[in-house]
A and B are shown apart, each in its own frame.
Chain A
Amino acid sequence: MDAFITPLIGGLLIGSSAVLLLLSLGRVAGISGVVWGAISGQADNSWRWLFILGLVLGPLLFHGISGSPYPTPSVQPWWVALIGGLIVGLGVKMGSGCTSGHGVCGIGRLSMRSLTATVTFMVTGIATVYVTHHLLGGL
């Protein structure tokens, strides 16, 4: 049962953050969009860097207060991180969003475009893990 409680509370916090950002700054809390705006030097950018700073400090706060240990690092070699990261970057820029922008905020706005994107990346994510773990026997 506990296994479901922390993900649920975590999810409620993520949703609340998105609501607060929309209510205060009128912005969508899509991480890939915020990050792209920050690194591509868009106007009125300080809020993006501060949001990203908060994003990085959040886990420190959580693990510090709860005492729960940091997650075990991935067992994959560095080049898998490189390939995975590269494909994620290409995909989110091309598809204009990720789990937060399309999944949390887009579906929150009842956007068919975002719902379609979310179903698509869930399906290819599941298919990828099937291929790497069951056909190739662990990448």
Chain B
Amino acid sequence: MKGLTALLCGLIFGVGLAMSGMTDTAKVIGFLDIFGEWVPDLAFVMGGAVLVTVVAFRLVLRRDNPLLADSFSLPTNTAIDGRLLGGAALFGIGWGIYGYCPGPAISALVYLNTDTVIFVAAMLAGMVIANKATSS
């Protein structure tokens, strides 16, 4: 049941990404290009998603426990520090360079373009490198 629900969640997420245009690098770059011919469409993706989470997360988190697990696993770190800002800044740069953030990149694997595989492999390598650098 847990696995099936996770699969369903991933599926809905993936449909949402493809439908919204987030798996289209040209659209993403157009959205970030506010000083050029700005394509504002993708603002509605984040807007729509946050609209749902802001309202529904409040209701969900009123519960003592989730339906299929013992407890909620929520991030506990609230620090706004150099690591957060540096990491977020780097991520934005990588996002702007090619037009994929992690979710759309993985979803776009199904389009079977070699460059997307290269992007995802490099992304995983980057995660491993950052993990090694910060844990030593």
Contact = CB atoms under 8 A, between A and B. Distances in A.
Contacts of B79: 113
Interface string A72-91: 11111010111111111111
Interface of A: 3-4, 6-29, 31-32, 35-36, 39-40, 46-48, 50-63, 66, 70-76, 78, 80-100, 102-113, 116-118, 120-130, 132-134, 139
Given A58-B17, A59-B107, A124-B89, 5 more contacts: A47-B5, A85-B125, A87-B93, A88-B91, A125-B96
B59 to A, nearest CB: 9
Contacts of A15: 48-53, 56
Main SS class of interface, A? helix
Interface in B96-113: 96-103, 105-111, 113
A35 B102 contact: yes
B17 A26 contact: no
Interface residues of B, number: 113
Interface string B66-98: 111111111101111001111111111111111
Contacts of A122: 92
B30 to A, nearest CB: 9
Interface of B: 2-27, 29, 32-36, 41-54, 56-57, 60-61, 63, 65-75, 77-80, 83-103, 105-111, 113-116, 118-131, 134
Contact of B10 (A50, A93, A106): A50
A104 B49 contact: yes
Given A58-B11, A88-B126, A108 B53 contact: yes
A117 B68 contact: no
A105 to B, nearest CB: 6
Contacts of A31: 13, 101-103, 106
Contacts of A92: 87, 91, 102, 123, 126-127
A18 B53 contact: yes
A136 to B, nearest CB: 11
Given A28-B73, A94-B134, A95-B90, A19 B56 contact: yes
